[in-house]
Every structure is written in C-alpha cells, then in structure tokens.
Amino acid sequence: MRIAFQGVTGAYSEAAALRVNEAADLLPCPSFEEVFLSVDMQKATHGILPIENTIGGTIHRNYDLLLEHDLPIVGEVKLPIKHNLIVSPGMELRQIKRVYSHPQGLAQCEGFLRTLDGVEIVATYDTAGSAKMIKDKELQDSAAIASERAAEIFGLDILESSIQDYAGNTTRFLIVGKESVPLGTPDKTTIVFTVTNEAGALFKALSVFALRDIDLTKLESRPIPDRPFEYLFYADLNADRDDIRCSRALMHLAEFAPSVKTFGSYPSWKDPS
C-alpha cells in the first residue's frame, strides 16, 4: 500500500496515513489536487484527505475534488489533533512577530492566537511545512503551529503545547483508491445529490432515509459553480449501499432528485482499543 498525503513529513495527514497502515509507503504531495492526481496516475494506491475538523469545520475543497475526480472512498480515519507553538531553539515568546500555519491550524487555535498582541498571523499551505520553513530560513522572529513530530523532525523547540481551542480537537480523513475495494466491511456510505428548487424538495429527499431508519451522520451543502444559488448536498449515511434498506432509499431518492452519485461504501473508523 502506498498512500499519498498533502504536506511534508511531520504533517497530520502523514500521521493519519500511518493510522491506516503503519507499514505503508508514504508519498508527500504539495496540494490536495496532487493527492488525487497521484492516485489517478497510479503513483499511489490510495490517497488520504482531511474532510472535517471538530473545531474548524469542513475542508470544502476536498468535497469539490471528490466530485471532480472519479476515485471511490474506501475508508476513513479519525486523528486527535494536538497543536504546538514551534520556534527555533532558544527563542522566547516575546520575540515572536509572526505565526505561520495552515488556515485550519490557525482556526483551531484562534483563542490562543488572540493572546499574542501585535503578532502577524500568516496562512500557509501546510502545518509541518511551516515548521520546515522556520528551520530552512533560520527564522528567529517567527513561530509555526504544527505537530510534536514536526518539531522533532526539524530540530525545533516547542514553546507552548496543546494550544488548540478544545482538548477534543479531532480531524476526520477520507481514504480514496483507484479501485472500489473498501478497507474492511462497509457500514457507511457517502453520496452527493441535487434537488429541484421548490418547496419541500430537501425534506422529501431526506425522508427516504428517515422512512427506513437510516441515520445521516453528516449533511453538507456546496454551491454549484455554474448555477447561481443552487446547491449540491453531500450526505454520510450509516449504512452500506448494498444493504437492502440503503439500496431502496437510493433508488427512491433517484425518483425525484435530478442527480445522485455514490462516492463509495466503506468501514466507519473504530479507534484502536
């Protein structure tokens, strides 16, 4: 198994990939788009992508990319996220003029960042990449928000640990593959659908699942770019699409939803005991 992830060594996506398979070969990629392309071009067997965080919310770009690329979801993983303020060795808090991190990392530490008076907050493409930049450029007036592993890899100091706003900070990742082979027994399905612009249309769409006691664990709307103020609806169902209840619900939905697409059925994440 070779898993593509966005970021550099020390990224949270790398840690999530190792939760999937600690023996996996890992392929770092500069962007989420490159993760999809690596699997498309068979440079990797799987790709791992953050999709939502308990503080920062949804990573919308990855929902858009799921629709753009025909790669099935084959699994998921949840990773507790512990953010740290990382600096060059010997630096003190009063010396910091800038803090770098991925926008999600910054959003998840908003409360802590508000305590830093006069400090510029700078968004970057990656948490671990921000730590690498501190190291490579020998920045003596800047800090990064990143993982403990990133600090170890790049020989940096942790000035403040666990600076996320909530102790239970967790990110959910989706695993995509070239082939539709789930990484275990599937019990969860992700779909996207549209509804007509009329009263009760969304209620009718969701009722097909309620009538069959299928739990929706997530519902997310995204704009359709070429159709102003019309929306796609992404939903996670607590059922395998081959389960008779789920398959009948999807057929029922297709009767009045202009479009329905199933991204895949896969095993829901179970924390290691």
Select from 200, 220, 214 the least CA-distant residue to 248. 214
Question: What is the Cα–Cα distance from 188 to 253, expressed in whole angstroms?
Answer: 17
Question: What is the Cα–Cα distance from 5 to 9, expressed in whole angstroms?
Answer: 10
Please, are residues 125 and 147 in contact by the beta-carbon 8 Å criterion? no
Determine phi and psi for 79, rounding to 5 degrees. Answer: -130, 120
Please, are residues 86 and 158 in contact by the beta-carbon 8 Å criterion? yes
Question: What is the Cα–Cα distance from 240 to 166, expressed in whole angstroms?
Answer: 32
Q: How many helices (H) and strands (E) does the chain have?
A: 9, 15
Please, are residues 176 and 47 in contact by the beta-carbon 8 Å criterion? yes
Token pair recorded at residue 48: 């791992």
Among residues 32, 36, 173, 263, the one annotated as catalytic is 173
CB atoms within 10 A of CB 140: 13
DSSP character at residue 169: -
Among residues 127, 171, 189, 190, the one annotated as catalytic is 171
Question: Is 171 designated active site?
Answer: yes
Backbone φ/ψ region at 151: left (φ over 0), alpha (ψ -120 to 50), beta: alpha
Q: Which residue numbers are catalytic?
A: 171, 173
